[in-house]
Amino acid sequence: MKMDFSQFKREIYKRFGINLDGYKEKQLKRRIKSLMMSQGASDFGEYLKMLIQDENQWMKFLDKVTINVSEFFRNPDIFSYLENTILPESFEGKRQVKIWSAACSNGSEPYSLAMIMEDVFPGVSYEIIATDIDENILDAARKGVYDVRMLKNVTPRRLKKYFTQDDEGLYKINEDLKKNISYRKHDLLVDKYGMGYDLIVCRNVTIYFTKETQFDIYTKMNASLKPDGVLFIGATENIIQHRELGFEKISHWFYKKSAYLLQRGDEKNGQVIG
Ligand SMILES: C[S@@+](CC[C@H](N)C(=O)[O-])C[C@H]1O[C@@H](n2cnc3c(N)ncnc32)[C@H](O)[C@@H]1O
């Protein structure tokens, strides 16, 4: 059956629960089309059939849509700023903090955050909820085994303290660093958001979404933050409508929940993860 891209997206949502409407259409269509052709399907109807019948094809499709590129301490200067300025100010006086690493990919982001918590806030108890839409990448994150190329921003001291090298030269995260991290499947476009976060890290994923979807995501994240909570975004990202969304820009890439919209945020909050 011939079908256009809009129908294809509707079917994907109906059958697999993934909402492709929130993604920037041109980019997404180009990526899906190139994969579709390389797999020998000539139109979206035929391709949909392949995805339904062959789990391998579905995995490949998900891989193409999600783009899992990540690394430890991605943009190291920004992570240093987080570690040395933003967090000491925001976590001052706190005995316990809750962090959400949204779209965490292979775990390098939540593990980087855990290393900072261990090193800079030894007396603070912390919980990191790390979520992604892609189950396969979450499995890889739980295993925590990495090629040296992903570790170029990890200091030798941290490499020694938090990793063990195996016989093949791969680096495995020590079990102790995993104890405060829980990995869960969560779709930013479909699932409900948790609440009570001191810090939300959402980097290099909203770039794939439409402006309306970005607005919706940041509105929900605002509601998910504690009154003094901070949102940390990607190096190439910027929230232009931050005031309207209830954020105060504390510096580039860091936004704090503003006091005047607290009530609206608390009322709109959802519950599930966290
Ligand atoms: C480029 S990676 C970013 C990883 C990490 N945050 C970083 O900055 O290095 C994008 C991640 O977003 C995830 N993703 C894509 N669409 C998503 C959605 N709708 N909900 C949750 N995660 C999604 C992908 O599976 C992928 O792991």
**pLDDT tens across 49-104, in order?**
999 999 999 999 998 888 888 999 999 999 999 999 999 999 999 999 999 999 99
Centre of ligand 1 to C-alpha 2, Å, is: 31
What average pLDDT does range 170-179 have in this prediction?
98
- Band (34; pLDDT cuts 50, 70, 90): very high
What average pLDDT does range 118-139 have in this prediction?
97
Question: What is the spatial distance between Cα 271 and Cα 274, in angstroms, rounded to a whole number?
Answer: 8
At residue 260, the pLDDT reads 61
Nearest CA to ligand 1 atom 11: 103
At residue 66, the pLDDT reads 84
Residue 132 has pLDDT above 50, yes or no: yes
Residue 270 has pLDDT above 50, yes or no: no
- pTM, two decimal places: 0.90
67 lines ligand 1 (CB under 6 A): yes
At residue 2, the pLDDT reads 82
Residue 177 has pLDDT above 90, yes or no: yes
At residue 274, the pLDDT reads 37
8 Å CB contact between 188 and 133: yes
At residue 42, the pLDDT reads 92
**pLDDT tens across 1-10, in order?**
789 999 999 9
Q: Token match 């499995």: residue?
A: 139
At residue 84, the pLDDT reads 98
204 lines ligand 1 (CB under 6 A): yes
One-letter amino acid at 225 equals L
Which H or E run contains 231? Answer: strand 225-233
Nearest CA to ligand 1 atom 15: 66
205 lines ligand 1 (CB under 6 A): yes
Hey, is 101 helix, strand or coil? strand
9 lines ligand 1 (CB under 6 A): no
Residues tagged active-site: 31, 132
What average pLDDT does range 31-56 have in this prediction?
95
Residue-range domains of the chain with CATH:
5-66 (no CATH), 76-268 (3.40.50.150)
At residue 67, the pLDDT reads 87
Centre of ligand 1 to C-alpha 117, Å, is: 22
**Mean pLDDT (the chain, rounded):** 93
Which residues make beta-bridge pairs with 105? none
Nearest CA to ligand 1 atom 26: 68
What average pLDDT does range 176-196 have in this prediction?
97
b/e map 134-153, b = 16+ CB within 10 Å: beebbebbeebebeeebbeb
Q: In whole angstroms, how far apart are CA 269 and each of 114, 194, 209, 216, 265?
A: 26, 8, 22, 13, 6
At residue 269, the pLDDT reads 43
What average pLDDT does range 239-265 have in this prediction?
84
| Residues above pLDDT 90, as percent of the chain | 88
- Band (128; pLDDT cuts 50, 70, 90): very high
Residue 199 has pLDDT above 70, yes or no: yes
